[in-house]
Amino acid sequence: MQYKMERIQKIIAANSECSRREAEKKITDGRVCINGTPATIGQSAKLGIDIITVDGAPLTAVGKRVYLMLNKPCGYLSAVKDKRGRKTVMELVKDAGEFVFPAGRLDLNSEGLLLFTNDGEFANKIMHPSFNIHKTYEVTVTGNVDEAAALMRNPLEIDGYNVTAESVNIKRKTVNGGSLTITIAEGRNRQIRKMCGLCGLKVDALKRISIGNLELGRLKNGHWRYLTDKEVLSFGEGYLKRN
């Protein structure tokens, strides 16, 4: 009987709380075995036929895949756990019915749209810059918004990378600053804050309002809801078919 084989990093990402990139690191670190032998990136296997272990623990297929969105408040880490005992976003989705993990990050003092899932492939697509998933932010700032907006519409170098905002719009002006809506595709670490800093702005508040075609809408701060099938499918047709 023939079985459909898959690459080991894809199997791990689809059946655990890590992205494909994280799965590849576990493989290169020698933490993954197939039938008792250390795995290599790109090696094929079949979960349920082959015995796959990660850190010595057998990998099992996930149950129903879950996708949800949270309106993250300030003061919560976008992490599964924190060694320093700080509050994490996991406390806000503990009644989701399945274990889920954040598909991306918002820093401690940022708020807004944060996705959760138990689908590693979906999480990888949301997080990895190569997929160019657009993310839009509302940013309240102190500084010259006209000058900064003009600068941000051109390439900026951050952490050795050239980044460019997809769009920068002035939403409101005040005596000392104002607010901007900024859309980016790369989504690198603290990119919006670093872009603003390079352009002479002090960020007073930062809120993510959309990811791809998915909008935060009227979801209350600190609340979550499941994504609809249509919303999940907006990121790719394959996700629901794997449930």
CATH code: domain 134-211 is 3.30.2350.10
pLDDT, residue 44, reads 92
Per DSSP, the chain holds a count of helices (H) and strands (E) of 7, 17
CA–CA separation, 15 and 10 (whole Å)? 9
Measured CA angle at 29 (ends 26, 34), to 5 deg: 65
Structure tokens belonging to residue 48: 């349920």
Among the options 29, 55, 95, 107, which is catalytic? 107
Per DSSP, 128 falls in state -
Q: So what's the architecture of 67-130+216-241 in CATH? A: 2-Layer Sandwich (3.30)
Q: How many residues does the chain have?
A: 243
Closest CA to 61 of 95, 27, 12: 12
Tokens 């806000």 belong to which residue? 92
CATH code: domain 6-58 is 3.10.290.10
Answer yes or no: 204 catalytic: no
Burial class (CB in 10 A: 0-12, 13-18, 19+), 76: buried
Which bin fits 188, alpha (ψ -120 to 50), beta or left (φ > 0)? beta
**pLDDT mean values, one per 10 residues, the chain (243 residues):** 76 82 92 92 85 81 84 94 90 88 92 90 81 94 97 92 92 97 88 96 98 96 96 80 54
Amino acid letter, residue 135:
K
Domain extents for the chain?
6-58, 67-130+216-241, 134-211
CA–CA separation, 34 and 186 (whole Å)? 34
Structure tokens belonging to residue 208: 């993510």
pLDDT, residue 38, reads 94
Which bin fits 200, alpha (ψ -120 to 50), beta or left (φ > 0)? left
21 alpha-carbon distance from chain centroid: 13
Tokens 């993510």 belong to which residue? 208
pLDDT, residue 114, reads 98
Q: Which residues of 206-242 are buried (b: 16+ CB within 10 A; e: fewer)?
A: bbbbbbbebebeeeeeeebeebeeebbeebeeebeee
